[in-house]
Chain A
Amino acid sequence: MKVKVIVTPKETVLDPQGAAVREAMQHLGFTAARDVRIGRYLEIEVEGDAAAQEPKLRELCHDLLSNPVIEDYRLEMPNEKS
């Protein structure tokens, strides 16, 4: 079963990478690009019942996969609608 984790920088944290990409988009004529935030996307292949392992997965999201000081995360379980 595949579990997805999306990590994004918190609103209050400056994202210079996102700003550079937004500028590039504007250079390419897409002036509607108001803000770009760059995060991280993980696909985790989990053996067995992923739902049963959700608490542990959440813990990992919090402790390892994201840094709560600067990032937010979203955990998408297989049968959840994304």
Chain B
Amino acid sequence: MKFAVIQFPGSNCDQDCLAALRGLSGVEAEYVWHKETSLRGWDAIVLPGGFSYGDYLRCGAIARFSPIMRAVMDEARSGKLVIGVCNGFQILCEAGLLPGALVRNRSLHFVCDMVTTRVEAADSPFTRGMPVGTLLRLPVAHGEGCYYADAATLRELNERQQVLLRYCDEKGCVTPTANPNGSVENIAGICNRERNVFGLMPHPDRACEERLGSSDGARIFESMLRSLATDRAAA
């Protein structure tokens, strides 16, 4: 399976993503520069973390107009798997591929920590094989990771089970103290209505080996792989 890792000026987790993906068997991963205009031939698209365009104006606000984003939008609409991590999540929201927005952490502090997240829906290509309630320990590192959506959007997200991950404590309880950034309803990651675009603030790419403190992040990428393999077998 071929994964494209998009590089924007200011991306800084592109190498983490590439290394994490190449560590999985059956994955071919390469960088794709943001000036490129086509993503044909790739099975999945990864928007990595970092500070694209220095976070100027708003996080992801300028990157969403990079030439490659037209291709990302076209491929996303055609059903291709797209995952955005941290700044990648911010870009997906700015581009309108995911609802809501990410704003300044409620504490105003940059948070750099290991958090626990709870899988909230198992029927997505990103959480396949992880029953609801599965706990994933993943690192976060962001200043603008407070997820915001208005009441109507939030209701829809919940009704359609688009919230895939919530911040929780070690026992899996979704509590205010387990929320690192003030995200509404402890939301850590959401998918679109069609369930092929996923954005999350925690970094699965930085948690793919036990020696990094957790290998739970690999489960998300493995889930994508399984989904792609199933789709291919069905085709």
Count of chain B residues with a beta carbon within 8 Å of a chain A beta carbon: 21
CB proximity to B under 8 Å, residues A8-67: 9, 12-14, 16-17, 20, 40, 64-65, 67
Q: Looking at the complex, which one of B93, B94, B106, B150 makes contact with A14 (CB distance below 8 Å)?
A: B106
Q: Which 7 A-B pairs have the closest CB atoms?
A: A69-B101, A70-B101, A16-B108, A16-B106, A67-B101, A16-B104, A67-B58
Q: How far is the CA of A12 from the CA of B93 in the complex (A)?
A: 18
Chain A residues in 8 Å Cβ range of B101? 67, 69-70
Q: B182 is contacted by which of A12, A14, A67 (Cβ under 8 Å)?
A: A14
Instruction: Give which listed residue, B65, B106, B148, contacts A70 with CB less than 8 A.
Output: B148
B107 CB–A CB distance under 8 Å: yes
Known A67-B58, A67-B101, A69-B93; 4 more pairs at CB < 8 Å: A16-B182, A67-B61, A69-B99, A70-B101
Bound Cα distance A17, B148 (Å)? 16
What separation, in Å, do the CA atoms of A9 and B103 have in the docked complex?
10
Distance in angstroms between the alpha carbons of A17 and B143 in the assembled complex: 12
Q: Which one of A14, A67, A70 has the highest number of Cβ atoms from chain B below 10 Å of its Cβ? A: A67
Interface flag for B10 (CB, 8 Å): no
Q: Look across to chain B and name the residue whose beta carbon is closest to the beta carbon of A42.
A: B57
Q: Say whether B100 faces chain A, with CB atoms less than 8 Å apart.
A: yes
Could you list which residues of chain A lie within 8 angstroms of chain B, going by C-beta atoms? 9, 12-14, 16-17, 20, 40, 64-65, 67, 69-70
Residues of A within 8 A of B94 (CB): 67
Q: List 29 A-B contacts (CB under 8 A).
A: A12-B150, A13-B103, A13-B148, A14-B103, A14-B106, A14-B148, A14-B182, A16-B104, A16-B105, A16-B106, A16-B107, A16-B108, A17-B104, A64-B57, A64-B62, A64-B65, A65-B57, A67-B61, A67-B94, A67-B101, A69-B93, A69-B99, A69-B100, A69-B148, A69-B149, A69-B150, A70-B101, A70-B103, A70-B148
Return chain A residues, CB-CB under 8 Å to B108.
16-17, 20
List residues of chain A with CB within 8 A of the CB of B103: 9, 13-14, 70
Bound-state CA distance A20–B62 (Å) is 27
Chain B residues near A16: list those with CB within 8 A: 104-108, 182
Contact residues in A for B105 (Cβ distance below 8 Å) = 16
User: How many angstroms from the CA of A16 to the CA of B101 in the assembled complex?
Assistant: 15
**Nearest opposing residue in chain A for B58, CB measure:** A67
Q: Within the assembled complex, what's the spacing in Å between the Cα atoms of A67 and B100?
A: 10
